[in-house]
Structure 1
Amino acid sequence: MGWAQQAMTALENDHVVLRPLRPDDRESLRAIAMDPHIWRYFITLIETDADFDAFFDAAIADQEAGRRVVYHITDRSTGRAAGSMSFCNIAEADGRLEIGWSWLGADFRGQGINRWAKFLMLRQAFEELGAERVEFKTDALNIQARHGLRNIGATEEGTLRSFNPMPGGRRRDAVFFSVLRPEWPKLREELLSQPKVLSAP
């Protein structure tokens, strides 16, 4: 069984529940996805219901094809849909994958949900899938996201200039971060022992 199939399972702790995206999640996510702040540094721009439907349909299609594992995130304290994150760029033969396509609704930013969701996905990647490297990338202009990745202990590796086009015509400089397998045991304990850290997707 490949990583994409193995990762199609629920991940949870006292703070969040992550489970693979289902078609009936469309409306609960739509309700929080129409905030333009979410998409400011995203490679996809969501402005209309049609934009969101295309985005959601692509996520379902990617998951069905094994290209991504798309998680629906529930905030445990409220029981509400909080957003989504994915395992993507899965390179099992090379022992690496990416945590990306990360977004949260306005009510759920700065509440520790980003940190706990990424913690659960890191734990799944290293302890269940056997990954050697988990990587993240973000827009060089997205200071909040870069701060959030440092908060979870990821190492900033460098910037790939003019990495990809963005809505509006700008080309994004992508900043790469990573966590490696030998770093995980110490990082795991640090994340579990920290008080709630404010972080952004």
Structure 2
Amino acid sequence: MQCTPIQLSGIYVTLEPLTQEHLPEIQSAVADGELWKLFFTSVPAPKNVQQWLAAALDMQHQQTAIPFAIRDNASGKIVGSTRYWKMEPNNRRLEIGHTWYAKSAQRTGVNTECKLLLLTHAFEVFNCIAVEFRTDYFNHKSQAAIERLGAKRDGLLRNHTIMANGRIRDTVVYSILEHEWPGVKKNLQYMQSKYKN
């Protein structure tokens, strides 16, 4: 498991290695739906995207994350971002997180294919034994989306994270284990097939 930039390509989306050149497209994507106004997300406001981008690239430089820009193959537009992070090669596990999508990309199949691409690479290339997801206790949409993937809820970490606005977040933890992956993969492929024209 190497923290080096990779590209993952699917039918509907391409996960591109995040670079400084993505700045204007990321700013446009975050403006679609004004997601930074939701108190339970960590989506940057357009004026804070440069700081967010620098932090993501620094995590990559520190060999702790692989951040992606998500490009919609049909429109050619960047519609969000995600990353592998908390990568633990010795324990063969990682977390998929820092994920957000422009409002126009939500409920379109983008999330399903992104997770199919990320999980396939994690389990079949990185040889992970577990992949984790975490979300805010109040982000019920995110919890429902994670559960639709086939991840199981591990528990709740109370008073887990102090957010930028000072709120102390409770974090819900989910995971998919290596023996669960074949079934989860079939489910994701089935979900993906429903979006085909």
TM-score norm. by structure 1 comes to: 0.89
Q: Which residue of 1 aligns with 2:35?
A: 37
- Judge conservation of contact 2:65–2:84 (CA < 8 Å) in 1: yes
The sequence identity of aligned pairs, in percent, is 27
Q: Which residue of 1 aligns with 2:112?
A: 115
- Judge conservation of contact 1:140–1:173 (CA < 8 Å) in 2: yes
Inter-CA distance 38–16: structure 2 relative to 1 (3 Å threshold): farther
Task: Pick the aligned partner of 2:45 from 22, 42, 47.
Answer: 47
- Judge conservation of contact 2:80–2:101 (CA < 8 Å) in 1: yes
CA distance in 2 between partners of 1:48 and 1:119 (Å): 28
What secondary structure sits across from 1:119 in the alignment? Answer: helix
What secondary structure sits across from 2:128 in the alignment? Answer: coil
Structure 1 vs Structure 2 CA RMSD: 1.6
1:97 equivalent to 2:129? Answer no
CA distance in 2 between partners of 1:27 and 1:39 (Å): 20
- Runs of 5+ consecutive residues of structure 1 not aligned to the other structure: none
Aligned pair count reads: 192
Q: Which residue of 1 aligns with 2:126?
A: 129
TM-score norm. by structure 2 comes to: 0.91
- Judge conservation of contact 1:38–1:104 (CA < 8 Å) in 2: no
Structure 1 residue 47, shift from structure 2 partner: 3.4
CA distance in 2 between partners of 1:71 and 1:45 (Å): 14
Structure 1 residue 76, shift from structure 2 partner: 1.4
Deviations 1:33-79 (A, max 9, x none): 1343246223x463352x21111111112112212100111111211
Matches within 5 A, 1:4-43: 4-5=3-4, 8-34=5-31, 35-38=33-36, 40=38, 41-42=40-41
Task: Pick the aligned partner of 2:148 from 138, 147, 151.
Answer: 151
Letter in 2 for 1:12: S
Write out the 4+ residue segments of structure 1 that deviate beyond 4 Å after TM superposition.
Answer: none
Deviations 1:75-96 (A, max 9, x none): 1121111110000011111111
CA distance in 1 between partners of 2:53 and 2:95 (Å): 19
Structure 1 residue 168, shift from structure 2 partner: 2.4
- Judge conservation of contact 2:26–2:49 (CA < 8 Å) in 1: no
Inter-CA distance 176–9: structure 2 relative to 1 (3 Å threshold): same
